[in-house]
Amino acid sequence: METTPLYTIKKLQSDFPAINISNSADASKFIRNFYLDDIEVFESFFILLLDRANNTIGYAKISQGGISGTLVDVRLIAKYAVDALASSVILAHNHPSGNLLPSSQDLELTRRVKEGLALLTVNVIEHIILTKDSYYSFADEGRI
């Protein structure tokens, strides 16, 4: 009798671009491709998965919310990081308001994700906040 697995791990697409991310500008430019015209409409949270050489190996949309926030489950981020065998992760979300500064919730979430993934030996190397025309880098500002 053949059994069906409870879940399957999707293999990374061979056509996914392996781009080296060496700074916040590289990260924000690559992540901006995940957003369409909705960057000013509702808040969405993504992760960019990287190998040991900081080459992109995948990404995942973690959540999509309303105009002023979205809920993020750290366990989902950990699942995608482990499934992809990622060495590091870049967090990213947008602020439809155009305000680049991180909120206290953004700072707390970054801390929780960083601590949680550290238990799995996955580094959080950046958190990018995008607006229509610009970005804020937690790493550049010494907040990661």
What CATH number does the domain located at 24-137 have?
3.40.140.10
- Assess whether pLDDT exceeds 50 at residue 8: no
- Assess whether pLDDT exceeds 80 at residue 140: yes
Check residue 37 and give its pLDDT.
86
Indicate the domain borders of the chain.
Answer: 24-137
Check residue 9 and give its pLDDT.
42
Cα separation, 23 vs 20, whole angstroms: 9
Res. 1 pLDDT band, cuts 50 70 90 = low
Q: Where are the alpha helices (DSSP H) in the chain?
A: 24-32, 74-83, 104-118
Check residue 57 and give its pLDDT.
95
Cα 49 to Cα 17, 19, 77, 134, distances in angstroms: 12, 11, 10, 22
Res. 17 pLDDT band, cuts 50 70 90 = confident
Check residue 24 and give its pLDDT.
98
